[in-house]
Amino acid sequence: MEQILANGIYLGAQYAMIALGLTLIFALMNVLNFAHGQMYVLGGFVTYTFYGQLGWPFILALLASCITLAVLGALIERFLFAPVIRRSSREESTMLLAAGLAFLFDAVILLVFGEKQRGVPKIVDGVFNWDFRLIMPYDRILICVLAILSIVTFILFMQYSKTGRALRALAQDRTAAQLMGVNVARYSMIGFALGAMLAGLVGGLLVTITGVNLGMGGPTSIKAFMMVMIGGAGVISGAIAGGIILGFMEAIGLAVLSQYGDITYLLIFVSLMIFLAIRPQGLMGKPWG
Amino acid sequence: MPKLSTIQWAGLAFFLLAIFVAVPGFIAASGRSDLYYTLTSVALLSIASAGVWLTFYIGRINIGQGAFALIGAYVSAILVTKAGMSFWLSLPLAGLFAAGVAVLIGLPILRLRGVYFAMISLVLTQVVTLTALALPITNGAKGITSIPLPGGVSILGLTLIPDFATLENPRLAFYYSACVLMVLTFAAMYRLVNSRLGHLCRSMQQNEELASSIGVNISYIRIIIFAISSFLGGIGGAMFGSIAQSVYPSSFQVADSVNFMLNCFLGGLGYVFGPMLGTLVLYFGWDLLFELGRFQLLAYSSLLIILMLFLPNGLLSLRLPGKKGDDK
């Protein structure tokens, strides 16, 4: 039981971070970022290159991941999403762009890093063992703590900094924010960069445990969509709740249902559909996002 | 139904002539019989994409067509292999089964809108794939293989459709049947869009509350449209399974669902013939870029992004004079 709870917290913390980036981008731009999983994989590969290949300290490599993805996100918003949103007659057109970007990232990752599974040396050795009731490697605990710290930092940033206030205003009402003197174009770019940066950060954190490979992008995007749906699209607290709920469901499902074969995800999907039939806007979302 | 102008009739005749006479003639002359498979796939995928387009028409982003294509493929395969039914009877049944599933699932999830519907429909594809893996009748990951080719159909001794297994070139037969299905589908779509139901759909696309307030039964219409859409997906999938003579849980995946949606976007959401053009361009574009080897995906995705930057409303928004699809 303790083991399941610990696994749930560990999975939940990292899922929540992935969902946060996706929900931030959605709240600001009304863009469903299909390429989010690929951004996460890219972040993993950047950390792999700097930490695993070049031997930089882990924290610096993590920082490199964040900066790379933030710059990439800013450029993508400035030169791709903003013009398309301006020109297109239907805002769904951005989905094609996002899907195209997902393919593009896959292609770039394939060309630059290849299709092999990549891992890096452990950052901390040893295993925490509490009487065989709870077994957890130290590096997982460290990553989990780092993830929770980043989430707290992110929330504080959104709550108390000037940028965070502007971003929240933008998410609430674009026109009103503009009338109040928020530079909408600039803060959209910052928001997108921040969302991409979060994806890069999780990618960098998780490469130390699960490694990274090309095929992880798509499934990660789908999981992120599910978390956002559970919590409600475009709501930060919802993304965190969704991530933690999905993490716990997965941990419990894998422990309890393992003898019935691989039906955990089938059950999660089905219960999600029933849940959404009853509460279409998710736990904390506004109706119709 | 509005009368077609002379130029539209000419365009239609030209199109029919092209797909039924010119293309087989060209293939026979050049000996590239592998093109049959490509073109048949395009025809079938455009049928499924037409379904997706129809859900776009009521303002829903549908990324779940892969689910219904997979359902259709499995239903047809099971009916043919386990019950020994004729393929031509199983084809409409597969479509109807997919439509039935769509009604059941659609009742709750069609209440969702915007990205919520998009995301749940994406999840739907995963659900069907996982169900196909878990159920005993679908044979798990091994799938259903060696499905017999479609048999013949004859009424009162008159052979309507010959037995595909006895033909010397079943690929040509598949090409013709896929094209006939595609033409029927798009004719029906054109008729539907220009009917009263089509007008109601357009009113829903613009504003559901407003449509509802002036007496449009929106919950009925969205179920009907979703069922038609899934019917088309089921038929496309069933035919695909029959051509490949096998169905696996991985036959239609999330990527396929996304591609169906991309076909619609690329062709243009405002044009009935958009999905056909989009499918043709995407499928052939991918095949043509094969020459580039490992840069295929890079070139393909770059082209997709560039297209979106310069033609965000789809290829048909170019509006060449007299081009098909100008009329909506």
pLDDT computed for residue B224 by the predictor: 92
Checking if the pLDDT of A35 tops 60, the result is: yes
On whether any CB of chain B is under 8 Å from the CB of A199, the answer is no
- The residue-averaged pLDDT of B115-127 equals 83
pLDDT computed for residue B94 by the predictor: 93
Q: Topology of A2-278 in CATH?
A: ABC transporter involved in vitamin B12 uptake, BtuC (1.10.3470)
Q: What is the pLDDT of residues B218-234, one digit of tens each?
A: 889 989 999 999 999 99
What are the structure tokens assigned to B196, written together? Answer: 């009263």
On whether any CB of chain B is under 8 Å from the CB of A272, the answer is yes
Checking if the pLDDT of B128 tops 60, the result is: yes
pLDDT computed for residue A193 by the predictor: 94
Q: How far apart are CA A111 and CA B158, in angstroms?
A: 58
Tell me the average pLDDT of chain A: 86
Q: Do A92 and B309 touch (CB under 8 A)?
A: no
Tell me the average pLDDT of chain B: 83
Instruction: Work out the pLDDT band at B157, boundaries 50, 70, 90.
Output: low
Checking if the pLDDT of B151 tops 90, the result is: no
pLDDT computed for residue A38 by the predictor: 92
Q: How far apart are CA A70 and CA B207, in angstroms?
A: 37
On whether any CB of chain A is under 8 Å from the CB of B114, the answer is yes
Give the minimum alpha-carbon distance from A241 to chain B in angstroms, rounded to a whole number. Answer: 17
Checking if the pLDDT of B319 tops 70, the result is: no
Q: What is the pLDDT of residues A48-64, one digit of tens each?
A: 999 888 888 888 999 99
Domains of chain B (ranges, CATH numbers): 6-147+165-318 (1.10.3470)
Instruction: Work out the pLDDT band at B155, boundaries 50, 70, 90.
Output: low
Instruction: Work out the pLDDT band at A289, boundaries 50, 70, 90.
Output: very low
- What is the torsion angle, in degrees rounded to the nearest 10, for the CA atoms of residue B119, residue B120, residue B124 and residue B126? 50
Under DSSP, is residue B154 helix (H, G, I), strand (E, B) or coil?
strand
Tell me the CA distances in angstroms from B231 to A27, B186, B237, B275, one per residue in order: 34, 14, 10, 16
pLDDT computed for residue B326 by the predictor: 40
Tell me the CA distances in angstroms from A194 to A20, A32, A70, A186, B42, one per residue in order: 10, 15, 6, 12, 40
Task: Provide, rounded to the nearest whole percent, the portion of chain A with pLDDT above 90.
Answer: 26
For chain A, the structural domain boundaries read 2-278
Q: Which residues pair with B247 in a beta bridge?
A: B144
Which of these ranges, A54-68, B138-152, B277-291, has the smallest mean pLDDT?
Answer: B138-152
pLDDT computed for residue B321 by the predictor: 44
pLDDT computed for residue B158 by the predictor: 65
This complex has an ipTM of 0.77
Question: Which A-chain residues 221-250 have CB contacts (< 8 A) with chain B?
Answer: 222, 225-226, 228-229, 233
Write the DSSP symbol of residue B33.
T
pLDDT computed for residue B3 by the predictor: 66
What's the distance, Cα to Cα, between the start and end of chain A in Å?
36
pLDDT computed for residue A214 by the predictor: 84
Instruction: Work out the pLDDT band at A261, boundaries 50, 70, 90.
Output: low
Question: Which A-chain residues 98-157 have CB contacts (< 8 A) with chain B?
Answer: 99-101, 103-104, 106-108, 110-111
Q: Which residues on B lie below 8 Å from A230 (Cβ)?
A: none
- The residue-averaged pLDDT of B106-111 equals 84
Contact B116, B122 (CB under 8 A): no
Q: Which residues pair with A135 in a beta bridge?
A: A129
Q: Which of B130, B294, B313 shows the shortest C-beta gap to A265? A: B130
Q: What is the pLDDT of residues A101-144, one digit of tens each?
A: 998 998 899 888 888 888 888 777 778 877 777 778 888 888 88
pLDDT computed for residue B327 by the predictor: 41
Q: What is the pLDDT of residues B37-87, one digit of tens each?
A: 888 888 999 999 999 999 988 888 888 899 999 999 999 999 988 888 888
What are the structure tokens assigned to B243, written together? Answer: 């051509």
pLDDT computed for residue B324 by the predictor: 43
Instruction: Work out the pLDDT band at B150, boundaries 50, 70, 90.
Output: confident
Q: How far apart are CA B196 and CA B2, in angstroms?
A: 12
Q: What is the pLDDT of residues B187-214, one digit of tens each?
A: 899 889 888 888 888 888 888 888 888 8
Would the CA dihedral through A47, A53, A58, A60 be positive or negative? Answer: negative
Which of these ranges, A17-21, A62-66, A238-242, B116-120, has the smallest mean pLDDT?
Answer: B116-120
Checking if the pLDDT of B1 tops 70, the result is: no
Name the more confident of A42 and A128. Answer: A42
Q: Which residues pair with B155 in a beta bridge?
A: B158
Instruction: Work out the pLDDT band at B322, boundaries 50, 70, 90.
Output: very low
Which of these ranges, A91-95, B240-244, B286-290, has the smallest mean pLDDT?
Answer: A91-95
- The residue-averaged pLDDT of A210-234 equals 85
pLDDT computed for residue A149 by the predictor: 92
Instruction: Work out the pLDDT band at B323, boundaries 50, 70, 90.
Output: very low
pLDDT computed for residue A44 by the predictor: 92
pLDDT computed for residue B231 by the predictor: 94
On whether any CB of chain A is under 8 Å from the CB of B255, the answer is yes
Give the minimum alpha-carbon distance from A59 to chain B in angstroms, rounded to a whole number. Answer: 31
Checking if the pLDDT of B101 tops 90, the result is: yes
Q: Do B123 and A273 touch (CB under 8 A)?
A: yes
Q: How many CA atoms, within 13 angstroms, populate the side-chain half-sphere of residue A262?
A: 9
Q: pTM of the full predicted structure? A: 0.83
